[in-house]
Structure formats: structure tokens, C-alpha cells
Amino acid sequence: MKFTPWKTLSSKVLVKYRKWDYVEDEVELPSGKQITYQYIKSPGSVTIVAVNDAGELIVVREYRYLLNDESLELPAGMIDVGMTALETAHKELAEEVGLKAASMEYVGQAIVATGSVQGAAYVFIAKGLTSAEKALEETEQIETLTMTPQAFDEAVARGEVKASHVLIAWALVRSRILAN
């Protein structure tokens, strides 16, 4: 089936945040009907699957305000304006867990919320880890942990990992990481 793209009639930013915009478009559907469509426009985000020399994953337990609870995740963050995904991956790894990577391999990307967010989630595997200066943002409460890939995989299977960007990253790297 061939789909007909919608026609954008106008677009305006309703709210401008430091890392994303809340946008409202007036669009015309293939039927000719005009509707208002709102979404978040983001430069994207990165998730880093960091593997230490012992083959363990560097994971974080982080307080998430919208959950009012902690969340088991991988190091991640929003891409800053003017930065590439790769630059952001290196920056977030240092800021969140105090590590730098000799190797940062791009694995792939996914769209986390295809109907409400315009921006990709980029996934990297980091290796050759050494110490760097940790610099958490004021809003971050993060505990750094190590887990074997098998233990992390079991945590995913038990439903302990709920963040979509982490589940996407794990889906992209799981077979490679567990094979080692």
C-alpha cells in the first residue's frame, strides 16, 4: 500500500525548552480535512551500553521524577543543540558515571514515540573505559552499578527495566553482548 503524506500548512513553537520544542502544526490529511497536530521536536537522545574490561555492564539506578521512583537504566541523555550524537555519548558517559571510553561504537537508532516525538534515540557501545570527572546535573540522583550482561538481561525479563530507550538499546545490542 502506498501512503499519501500529510501536507503541513503551518507550524509554530508553543513552548521552547532548552533541549526540545513543543510544536503545533496545522496539517491537511489526504482526505482534505484539516487538523491540528501537536508533538515534541527534539534533537534526539543517546543511550550508552558501557562494557568494562571484565565484560560487565555499567548501569545506573536513577531517581525519575515522573515515576516518583528509581529506575534501572543505562547511561543516557538528550543531545545538546550544536552537539552530535557521538559527542553527547562521550559527554553523558563522563557526566553520569565518571568514565571515558577509548572506543564508542554507533550501533543504531530508533524512534521512541513515533506519534508524539520527532527525534531519534541513538545507541552506542562504549569500551576501553577509564576514569573521568563525574558531573551530575542538579536534577540527577544517580547510583552507578555494574551488572553482568546475564543479570541485566534477567532484570529486563523480570520487568525491572522500564525505560523505553534502555529497552531499545538492549534489543539492539543484546545478542552481541551476551555472545561474549
Q: What is the pLDDT of residues 158-172, one digit of tens each?
A: 999 999 999 999 999
**What is the H or E stretch that residue 142 is in?**
strand 142-147
User: What is the extent of the structural domain holding 113?
Assistant: 45-179
pTM of the prediction?
A: 0.91
Side chain identity, residue 157: A
Provide the mean pLDDT of the chain. Answer: 94
Quick one: 69 and 34 in the same domain? Answer: no
Quick one: 20 and 106 in the same domain? Answer: no
At 73, phi and psi to the nearest 5? -145, 180
Q: Are strands 117-118 and 34-41 parallel, antiparallel or unpaired?
A: parallel
Total number of residues shown for the chain: 180
| Position 1 in a domain | no
At 116, phi and psi to the nearest 5? -135, -10
Q: Please, what are the averages of pLDDT over each run of 10 residues along the chain (180 residues)?
A: 96 93 97 97 96 97 91 95 95 96 96 92 97 86 94 95 94 90
Domain count, the chain: 2
Q: What is the pLDDT of residues 77-105, one digit of tens each?
A: 999 989 999 999 999 999 999 999 999 99
Contact residues for 81 (Cβ-Cβ < 8 A; gap 6+): 19, 43
Quick one: 159 and 98 in the same domain? Answer: yes
